Chains A and B, each alone.
Chain A
Amino acid sequence: MKNTIIWLSRATLWAALTIIALPLLFSSCTEEEKPNNSPKVGNLTIEIDHVWGMDQKPFLMNTPIVHPMSGDTMTFSLIKYYLSNFELIKADGSSYKVPNSYFLVSETDNKIELKNIPMGEYTAVNFLVGVDSAANNSGLQQGALNPSNGMFWSWSTGYIFIRVEGTSPQAKNNTFLFHLGGYIPPYSAIQKKNMILGGNSVSIKPDAAPVLHIKTNVARLWHGPVKLADVSVVHSISDLSVSMSANFRDGILFDHIHQ
């Protein structure tokens, strides 16, 4: 009898303790991640300016612009592309991979926020133009990769990495449409970009808000002999999808750091 009472009260005590301690359990976890006196992480904003041609004319939407190489007149109604898998590199070669970093960039959604990066001086940024094959293949994704974003090939699992559309008098039917993607070799359009910050470094530290400015030269998609009179529509994997996405990657360049 006595025993049961002791047992009971012990059980109640435990139950009470559990209820009290449960929140502790969680809050203590978060506390450990950022010790109060010296947080060791900071953020980085990457701002992408879209330009047209090597001489970096402004890239204009819904306005006829002439391609510097092909001479085609193009009026863009849409441009969207994925940048993903960001990795920041220090001068000593050590690096930090930003987890779950997938961003859908357009001429208006042109800011990328990388959060909780370990403090330090970074001299290069690596990323993918496109989406890694694992994310292409692992079912439903959310956020930037949500299939409702118009960047998912419904009939063949996988993402459109670069999507541009518009009109041009030189194109067949007056319209051009390039949906570039594919993650299975030999038609993988995933392009790796290693961007050295021009001998500078960006300092990541708490309470700092550095901005890395990069420029995307959209005209670079039609680098070389690609003319709209020959090809104005690409919407599946192909050699052209691979080469155009590689050219596009080469048109993404470091500009400056705003520390």
Chain B
Amino acid sequence: MNALSLKGLTNGRILLLVFILPLIETSCQKNATDSEFKFPADFPSIQYKNLENQLTPQKIHLGRVLFYDPNLSSTRTISCGSCHAQVHGFADHNLPKSFGVHNRIGMRNSPALQNLAWNTHFMWDGGITHLDVMPIAPITDVNEMDLPLGEAIERIRENKQYLNLFKKAYGDTIINEKTVLFALSQFMLTLVSDQSKYDDVRRGKTNFNQIESKGYQVFKNHCVKCHSEPLLTNNQMEYNGLTVKSKDLGRFRITQTLKDTFHFKVPSLRNVALTYPYMHDGSFSNLDQVLKAYQTKFQLENHDLEALRAFLNSLTDHKFISNLNHAEIHPFNP
């Protein structure tokens, strides 16, 4: 190719780009307005990192169908939703430890799923560091869904009713680890809880009553170091000294570092009134037990506990647990 024509081509290309770019841009903007989902503007910026996985209503919907699909377990009986129930803030149905396939009991309490977009660590020991790979753990765990990942993908492929959902979401019917896990992430990213009374107070829409406001004060004095606002977790693994030391060494399992023994991820306290029993091992069956234990640790007065209790109740997000966009769905069996 001679120099002249090369130059000509470059010029042409720039002109063309000028022409095409606005076209591309407008189509992107269109997508953005299509999606009704938005992260709350007054939360910190999200921690989920995957530029390739931009939220769309179709992908979120696909993720929701996958989340509630029991075919992802070896016995075709257990879905993600079996252990993560919306009415309990996506924690388990008040079981200390969850039942997986064949009624096998797992090692730990099933945590609430909410505001996962801000998590940097997942699981009670923080061992998983990216939401996109998180579902691999429950799918493959013998005590949970007990299915090799490849087989789970194969089952989705075999179910012809998925084709349409994948086509709508991705424009084609490629079903693989990526398209499945990205969609699951999309649904989980939309599980945002920011509509509790606590949030209304934060936003100046209402006020705490007297006892809640006292509880908030106690909370700020003793708890926010770990249960930091506004997400009510600092995303770190800490030792709160409340649980019985057992074979579950917590963060030590991941780092094999002695100082991390019995450290567990600080759970967010959003919807905490709904997520009992508490702690990684489900060993506290109600909030009063938890607060009694913290009372000893922080030398709190009895009326502090009552106040804390009222404050923790203000963290329940009724809109979140009744949001129809998150509800169980089985589009294939009408």
Contact = CB atoms under 8 A, between A and B. Distances in A.
Interface stretch (B8-16, B34-42, B74-82): B8-16
B19 A147 contact: no
B116 to A, nearest CB: 14
B28 interface: no
Nearest to A152: B136
B129 A137 contact: yes
A238 interface: yes
B136 A154 contact: yes
Given A152-B133, A154-B137, A155-B128, A140 B16 contact: no
A236 B123 contact: no
Interface residues of A, number: 27
A156 interface: yes
A236 B12 CA distance: 57
Q: Tell me whether chain B's interface is mostly helix, strand or loop, or mixed.
A: helix
Contacts of B20: 18, 22
A148 B178 contact: no
A187 B256 contact: yes
Contact of B9 (A18, A28, A184, A236): A28
Given A137-B130, A140-B178, A157-B130, A148 B148 contact: yes
A146 B177 contact: yes
A142 interface: yes
Nearest to A138: B130
Contacts of B9: 24, 28
Contacts of B148: 148
Nearest to B181: A140
A184 B127 CA distance: 12
Interface in A25-39: 25, 28, 31
29 contacts: A14-B19, A17-B16, A21-B12, A22-B16, A138-B49, A139-B49, A139-B50, A139-B130, A139-B132, A140-B181, A140-B182, A142-B177, A147-B133, A147-B136, A148-B149, A148-B150, A148-B177, A154-B136, A154-B137, A154-B140, A154-B141, A155-B123, A155-B127, A156-B125, A156-B253, A156-B254, A187-B255, A236-B253, A237-B256
Given A18-B20, A22-B16, A238-B256, 12 more contacts: A22-B20, A25-B13, A139-B132, A140-B130, A142-B178, A147-B136, A147-B149, A148-B149, A148-B150, A155-B127, A156-B125, A236-B256
